[in-house]
Structure 1
Amino acid sequence: MAMFTTKTIVSVHETDQKIRSANLSTTELHSLFEIERCVRWIMERNLKKVCLQFPDNLLCFSANVTSCLEAELGFKLYILGDGTYGSCCVDEIAAQHIGADAVIHFGHYCLSPTARLPVLYIFEKRQIDVTSFVSNMRERFSDPATKILLLYDVAFRHAIGAITQQLSESYPHLAVSKLLTDEVNQNENYSILGRTFKIEDELDKYQVVFIGPEGHCLETLIHEIPGCRFYIFDPAKHKSIEDYHHDRGRFHRRRMYLIEKVKHARTLGILIGTLTVANYSAAVDRVKTLAKNVGKKCYIIAVGKPNVAKLANFPEVEVFVLVACPESSLLDSKEFFQPIVTMHEVELALNSQYVWGEKHVTDFRTLLPGGCNYVAEKNSPDDYEVSHVSLIDGRLHSFQKSSPEPEENQHSTAISMKGDTTVSNPLVSHGLGLSSRSWTGLQQNLGETEVALCAPGLQGIPQKYTHEHYLDK
């Protein structure tokens, strides 16, 4: 449970109880959700239709926060319900359905850039004892010449200024990251996953200290910076800075297996995991191009948040390629019937020019032309056969390059926001019959279903209900 810093001084236990019960005073509510800042931001831009997005753990405060804002602004606001994809991403799609001017996003943010609407980010403010953390740093790194890179979860951004001020006196080679939402200094010479910082030497010469809990944020940073030693300090669990041990060998073995599955597959399903992150459509086009070059078929599938039941509807697809934000890309697919891979595995499997390394790229934008991890594929003749021996079954597999697609299917901009604020969701089909299928969820059918009186249901247990007298014979 997140711990927040408020203007009212309360104990850790008391704060936790208040958050669990959603019982906050008006003063605490204004402080935690920065009501004055939200009002000022809306009024400065003369916005009239604004959506508020809350993660699940803060949704209990949504009504009170909205009431406070509406009282200051004098007009109604909209609360976004269940997100189209992950709560760490701004749900611009839902906001555009009502023609919103902007979005205020509360809680954790994955720092993926957006492209459609102005967004104000209000981060959680988790509690941290700055004095205790600084003391722990000086005990752990006794040598002032140590090169330290300080990374942190966005929930601790509010305390970084005080931490930096105290640590800079002890460590002249300290590098502290800034977030995508901050004003970036031109002197910053390194950027990773929405964080920028200035370093004086090679990155692998630095000791990395991460402030925050274990989870997707920390895992993605570790995969993007493989040569550094990581330390973690989670104020909710740790009393001191601890070594963070990550089983890189196991992780790489799993990724190598998935790479082989991509090579082995004849049919790939490009799973749309975001309609918000900038350049997602270019990433889809990139996967389609790589697949076509080696004779594989591709199908674009948009199902919102993926789960086992949804993806089981596509048994013809052998491997799904998830195009999503970095923190949502590494999806554990062990429970799924088909494996789910990232764009990085596709590059390693289908691009002969891409070389395997310790770094695992989770930000698909860097794999596109112009990105720091982009590698152009080797030009090849129009007609050729691709063969390889699978490390999974030991057999020789051959793929014939497919014929060019019609012009209208060359680009994946079909899955995007239309002018009427609806989302197109085509399933491009070339022989699998996907275009003839349809699925519907729970429909209200208002005015179509005859109203019926309530009737008593079954009583007893499934082995023998009370009306099943024949079981007594």
Structure 2
Amino acid sequence: MADWEQGSQDRPVEAKSANPKKRFDGRPSPSSEVTRRPLSTARPSRIINQVPDDILNDSLLNVAISQLPSNYNFEIHKSIWQLRKHGSTRVALQFPEGLLMFACAISDILESFANVETLVMGDVTYGACCVDDYTARALGCDFMIHYGHSCLVPVDITPIKIMYVFVDIGIDVSHFVETLQKNFQKGKRMALVATIQFVAALQTARQHLASDYVVTIPQSKPLSPGEILGCTAPKLKDSDLLIYLGDGRFHLEAIMIANPALPAYRYDPYAKVLSRERYEHVDMKAERKNAIERAKGAKRFGIILGTLGRQGSPKVLDHLITEMTKRSIPYTTILLSEILPAKLSLFESAIDAWVQVACPRLSIDWGYAFSRPLLTPYEMAVVLQETDWKQDDYPMDFYARDSLGPWTPNHVDPNKQGSRK
């Protein structure tokens, strides 16, 4: 969580960067001021459909569920119903780091009330791209529950049954709304975005803000309306300002990169603080352009396919190999679950530049730490002259269907008949 300076009650804080900086987060460090409003208890509701009454009204089950935070929706009733319906016997549970503290309690509940064996997958889970269904299958699981992320990997392509639990988090929506009303003039065109845990709260907030502001909840398909990822965020049109609902900056930085001219604010639902957020676009783009120029002189490339869950896209890998083969560019393909400077340094005598098919933010945030250029697929497309360098609009469209080109996993050619909407 960022540090805050107490100050006026009428203006948002200026977020401060951590020092020393561990990754390039594009954040300067000005002074800051705080905005707070009186508390209330509004929270978005979530309707559970089709779950039988005998599960919903199981008193022992409900007592067990009461041990979990009441404002976190782990969808326990639905999970038990799904496990019973599919006759599951061994279930893999996958959590991001921030939810692992609840893993043992949820495991006990599912084992007791669904009569299954559970395996908690403890490897790091950075995002929705890290769904580890193949490992779950290899461990003999017939069902997997992935917590805290949206269904970036469709359930109809996984080798075992999978259920995504977004973990909606109930927040003080009234405080969020009142804070925005206190700080922004009526009539402003306001874009609201969040991580998947808070998208329901965005919809509730829009209803209350619509009478005073022009409110949009943008969408970058296949993501949900208002949802952004650290690598995927929409370009915004006809907006005066951007409001991000969530803690941390990682996801927010994606939409800031995609919209460099748009003022960005973050409302932390836990600290109940509104902060003005900034990003050093010039420094980031200079670093990335320099990496591209250095890579143009490479004699041999290393192509890294990420193996952490579903991070690595074979489709993107195939595209890179095809384009490099056309141009007679030598390359070596390497599979890695974690891309670390020390690991890549072992290849320095043979590899002059890297392109990684794992997480674009690894190159953007950490590229400076590697001794050889570490490019994203988009940046490699610039090297291959498939596309131009976007000095003003660095693309954050990695999982978007309307991405710039076939160097992204979900790209749909707009000229193709029957393209997905």
Q: TM-score, normalised by structure 1?
A: 0.63
Tell me by how many angstroms 1:287 deviates. 1.7
Measured in 2, the distance between the counterparts of 1:167 and 1:179 equals 22
Instruction: Report 1:256-271 matches (<5 A).
Output: 256-271=289-304
CA contact (8 A) 1:113 1:278 kept: no
Which position in structure 1 is the counterpart of 2:126? 86
Q: After superposition, where does 1:87-236 map in structure 2 within 5 Å?
A: 88=128, 89-107=130-148, 109=149, 112-114=152-154, 115-116=157-158, 117-124=160-167, 128-144=171-187, 146-171=188-213, 173-177=214-218, 203-236=237-270
Aligned match of 2:34? none
Please, which of 343, 363, 374 is the counterpart of residue 377 of structure 2?
Answer: 343
Cα contact 2:194–2:228 (8 A) shared by 1: no
1:265 deviation in Å?
1.1
1:177, 1:196 within 8 Å by CA — same for their partners in 2?
no
Q: CA shift at 1:334, angstroms? A: 2.8
Flag the structure with larger Rg: 1
Q: Which residue of 2 aligns with 1:58?
A: 99
| Corresponding residue of 1:309 | 342
Separation of aligned partners in 1, 2:254 and 2:304: 20
Q: Which residue of 2 aligns with 1:368?
A: 406
1:257 and 1:81, CA in 2 relative to 1: closer, same or farther beyond 3 A?
Answer: same
- 2:46 is the alignment partner of 1:37: no
Q: Is the 8 A contact 1:86 1:305 kept in 2?
A: no
Structure 1 residues 73 and 30: CA distance shift in structure 2, 3 A: farther
TM-score by length of 2: 0.69
Q: Following TM superposition, by how much is the alpha carbon of 1:27 offset from its aligned partner in structure 2, in angstroms?
A: 0.6
Change (3 A) 1:91 1:327: farther
Gaps (5+ residues) in structure 1?
2-8, 10-23, 377-473
- Name the CA distance, whole Å, in 1 between partners of 2:302 and 2:289: 19
- CA 1:26–1:46: 2 relative to 1, 3 Å: closer
Change (3 A) 1:165 1:326: farther
> Cα–Cα, structure 1 residues 47 and 170, in superposed 2: closer, same or farther, change >3 Å?
farther
Measured on the aligned residues, the alpha-carbon RMSD in Å equals: 3.7
**Percentage identity across aligned positions?**
24
Distance 1:331 1:248, change over 3 A: closer
1:72 to 109, 113, 131: 113
Quote how far apart the aligned CAs of 1:35 are.
1.6
Q: How many Å separate the matches in 2 of 1:96 and 1:78?
A: 11
CA distance in 2, matches of 1:359, 1:280: 24
Q: Distance in 2 between matches of 1:192 and 1:56?
A: 19
SS of 2:266's equivalent?
strand
Work out whether 1:332 is the aligned partner of 2:366. Answer: yes
The residue number in structure 2 matching 1:460 is none
Alpha-carbon offset, residue 209 of structure 1: 0.9
Post-superposition CA distance 1:2-57 (Å, at most 9, x none): xxxxxxx9xxxxxxxxxxxxxx9751327433321221233344444321002233
User: How far apart in 2 are the matches of 1:345 and 1:373?
Assistant: 19
Go from structure 1 to structure 2 and tell me whether the alpha carbon gap of 1:153 and 1:372 turns closer, same or farther (over 3 Å shift).
same
Q: Residue 354 and residue 336 in structure 1: after superposition, are their counterparts in 2 closer, same or farther (change >3 A)?
A: closer
CA contact (8 A) 1:149 1:174 kept: yes
Amino acid at match of 1:78: L
- 1:304, CA displacement in angstroms? 0.9
Q: Indicate the SS of the match to 1:302.
A: strand
In the other structure, the counterpart of 1:27 is 66
Does the aligned pair in 2 maintain the 1:277–1:325 contact within 8 Å? no
The answer to whether the Cα contact below 8 Å between 2:91 and 2:116 also exists between their aligned partners in 1 is no
- Measure how far apart 1:210 and its partner are: 0.7
**Superimposed CA distance per residue, residues 334-382 of structure 1 (whole angstroms, 9 cap, x where no aligned partner):** 3333232211111112125535342223444533189669799xxxxxx
1: distance between equivalents of 2:185 and 2:300? 55
Amino acid at match of 2:306: G
For 1:59, the aligned partner's letter is L
Task: State the alpha-carbon separation in 1 of the partners of residues 307 and 384 from structure 2.
Answer: 23
Assess if the C-alpha contact under 8 Å between 2:91 and 2:145 holds in 1. Answer: yes
Q: Following TM superposition, by how much is the alpha carbon of 1:220 offset from its aligned partner in structure 2, in angstroms?
A: 1.7
Distance (Å, rounded) in 2 between the aligned partners of 1:276 and 1:176? 30
Look up the match of 2:318.
Answer: 285
Tell me how far apart the structure 2 counterparts of residues 178 and 220 of structure 1 sit (CA, whole Å): 14
1:219 and 1:79, CA in 2 relative to 1: closer, same or farther beyond 3 A? Answer: same
Q: 2 CA distance for matches of 1:318 and 1:155?
A: 41
Q: 2:388 aligns with which of 323, 346, 354?
A: 354
The residue type paired with residue 114 of structure 2 is L
Displacement of 1:192 after TM fit?
6.9
Closer, same or farther: CA 373–213 of 1 in aligned 2, 3 Å: farther
Going from structure 1 to structure 2, the CA distance change for 1:40 and 1:325 (only over 3 Å counts) comes to: farther
Structure-2 separation of matches of 1:375 and 1:331? 31
One-letter code aligned to 2:153: P
1:298 to 309, 312, 331: 331
Q: Which of structures 1 and 2 has the larger relative contact order (alpha carbons within 8 angstroms, sep 6+)?
A: 2
Correspondence for 2:22: none
Report the alpha carbon displacement of residue 112 of structure 1 after superposing the two structures with TM: 3.3
Number of residue equivalences:
343
Match of 1:421 in 2: none
**Structure 2: where are the runs of 5+ without partners?**
2-40, 42-62, 416-421
C-alpha spacing 1:110/1:55, structure 2 compared with 1 (3 Å): same
Q: Secondary structure at the match of 1:332?
A: helix
